[in-house]
Chain A
Amino acid sequence: MSEAAAALHGVAQRFGRKVVLRGVDLELRPGGIVGLVGANGSGKTTLFAILSGLLQPDAGERRLFGRAADEVDAPARARLAYVAHATQLYGALSARENLRLFADLRAAAGLSTRPADEVLRELGLSPEALGRPVATFSRGMAQRVALARALAARPELLLLDEPFTALDAAGRGLLSRVLLDERSRGAAVLLSSHDFDALVQICDRIVLLEGGALARSVEHRGDREDFRRRAAALWHDLPADPGDTLVDGPR
Chain B
Amino acid sequence: MRLLRQALLLLRSELRQELRDFELLLTAGFFTVVLLAMFYLSFASLQAKAHLHALPGLMWLTVAFVGVLTLTRVFDREREADTLRALLAAPIDRLAIYLAKAAMALSVLMVCCAVLVPGLWLIFPAAQAFADQPGQTALLALLGCGGYVAIGTLFAAGLATGAGKNTLLFIILYPLTTPVLMYALVTTRALIDRDPGLPGHLMQMFVLDVILFAAACLLFETVLIGAPVRPHRRPPLRPSVHRDMSREPSR
Contact = CB atoms under 8 A, between A and B. Distances in A.
SS class, residues of chain A in contact with chain B: mixed
B83 A75 contact: no
Interface residues of A, number: 64
B242 interface: yes
Given A55-B225, A57-B229, A10 B246 contact: no
Given A93-B16, A230-B250, A74 B91 contact: yes
Contacts of A23: 236-240
A31 to B, nearest CB: 18
Interface string B227-251: 1111111101111111111101011
B81 interface: yes
A219 interface: yes
Contacts, number: 165
A198 interface: no
B49 interface: no
Contacts of A217: 242-246
A218 B239 contact: no
A92 interface: yes
A214 B242 contact: yes
B241 A215 contact: yes
Nearest to A206: B245
A197 interface: no
B229 to A, nearest CB: 5
A71 B143 CA distance: 34
A26 to B, nearest CB: 9
Interface of B: 2, 5-6, 9-10, 13, 16-17, 20-21, 77, 80-83, 85-86, 88-93, 96, 225-234, 236-246, 248, 250-251
Closest 5 A-B residue pairs measured CB to CB?
A: A213-B240, A78-B91, A88-B86, A23-B239, A22-B237
Interface of A: 10, 12, 14, 19, 22-25, 52-62, 70-71, 74-75, 77-78, 80-82, 84, 86-93, 97, 101-102, 104-106, 108-111, 133, 149, 212-219, 221, 226, 229-230, 232-234
